[in-house]
Structure 1
Amino acid sequence: MFVALSTWNKQEDFILSGSKTVFRESDVEKIKQSFYSQNKGEALELVMKSTPDYLPLYDDDRSTGFYELYKHKIIDNNPNFEKSVIGRQLVVQNIHLTEEVIEFPVVIYTGTSITTMGNKLTKEQYSLSTIGTPLINKKYIQNNQIEIAFKHKFSDILIYLTVIFWFLLIVVYLYCKTKKINIF
């Protein structure tokens, strides 16, 4: 415990993070205060890791530094966009970029659909980078935003089956307990 606190009190290396951590703020005190803020997202905005848990591979070129690509395409590009969750969709709005083709700082996985103002984009209307960030021509984007939803045909069914299973397990447990049957 004392080792962690002594590290926290330093001006440099106050977070045991390594070379893959990106600090969005140079003022160490602001970063430290963000960890005590009511807004828990504040610290996550100021300190980010460029080592994602999983990235899809859409290119056979294995010489690419995927962590560097993630830092460049996702973390460095994030300030140009606003993200919010509405219903079951991630809404990503472009707030700064004016290029003809816009690369959105999100990763597209199999089973993900991309829409803009409710109109689904076809695979011909966008391409994916090596790590799965969508590149979309401005002419296909309405209101400067896209919506992303994960649509897997079995995900809802699995959730319902899990709830039903737990309900049945509780019913069986209560039945056995009232009948004094010891099966557990």
Structure 2
Amino acid sequence: MTGAGSVVQVSVYPVKSLAGRTVREAEVGPAGLVGDRAWSVVDVTTGERVTVKSTPEMGEVVATGDDEADTITLTEVLGRPVRLQRSGQPQVDAAAVHLVSRRAIARAAAGDVPEGCSADDPRANLLLDLPEDEDERSWVGRTVRVGEVEIAVTRTPKHCLGVYAEVRRPGTVRVGDRVEVLPG
């Protein structure tokens, strides 16, 4: 087992494409952080999903958890009637958990940014503080323990910083939790 750092921030994105909320701890289930990307925004007129890719101003709105208030705010910001729709499963694009280290953000600030990625808002669930000799990209194919949660790191994102992972053992993650790369 290799000590690889600690969790410095936990973020949940209740509504897909909206800004996230920073929390002290979060439950992690088989599909990822509980409540993460549990809702999507739908255009009332067309019935189609509205995303930050087509409507960048969505990324500035922080979901409050009050569906009615969030719907009113989004309708005002977007200038068209929208509604929130609960998703059966979290609306993740690639994996249950997205991890990014402070070092990855520093590399991005120095110009090492994947095309289409926002270094200002990597939209990660877990922000990690890692030792200088540790790079989360080397964890692909490995199992990592974050507090009491175990995740299998599956790949590096094409258009984001950090790594994507699937949940092997659910539990709770907290700010300050130790991050360890397991042997094997």
TM-score, normalised relative to structure 2 = 0.23
Larger-gyration structure (1/2):
1
Structure with greater contact order relative to length (CA < 8 Å, sep ≥ 6): 2
TM-score, normalised relative to structure 1 = 0.23
Relative to its length, the structure with more strand (as a share) is 2
